Amino acid sequence: MIIAIAQDVKTSEILMVAYMNQKALEKTLKTKKAHYWSTSRAELWLKGESSGHEQLVHQVLIDCDEDAIILKVEQKGGACHTGHYSCFFRELDLDNKERIKTIGKKIFNPRKIYGEN
């Protein structure tokens, strides 16, 4: 199991962090579409399978310890299940550590895609 960081190929914005097992990495390399391992569901998943918000992989970078990768992707729609383009849509105020502010805007309504929670 390795950490996989999805990064926008054009802007370098970090979109999300997930896990990959060997099968997820193999399917990603074969299809050039991001596949991940869901630790909560214990299953392989294709990013965008239910939402249509797929990630087309342009480049794969491997870190020096070979325990993490960066996927340079073309993100179709939003990467975050909350409706934001990136999962990193909040910022911790360094001067007031108890204050978190939203810096990203929602680009889709997750209820329309995933239903009620």
- Count of domains observed in the chain: 1
CB contact at 8 A, 62 and 69 = yes
Residue 13 corresponds to which tokens in the numbers above? 């914005």
> Residue 91 above 80 pLDDT?
yes
pLDDT digits (tens, 9 = 90+) for 55-86: 999 999 999 999 999 999 999 999 999 999 99
pLDDT digits (tens, 9 = 90+) for 94-108: 888 779 999 999 999
Helix (H), strand (E) at residue 111: helix 110-114
Report pTM: 0.90
At position 99, the amino acid (one-letter code) is R
Number of other CB atoms surrounding residue 73 within 10 Å: 26
We report the CATH number of the domain holding residue 59 as 3.10.20.810
Residue 111 corresponds to which tokens in the numbers above? 């209820």
Domain that holds residue 24: 2-114
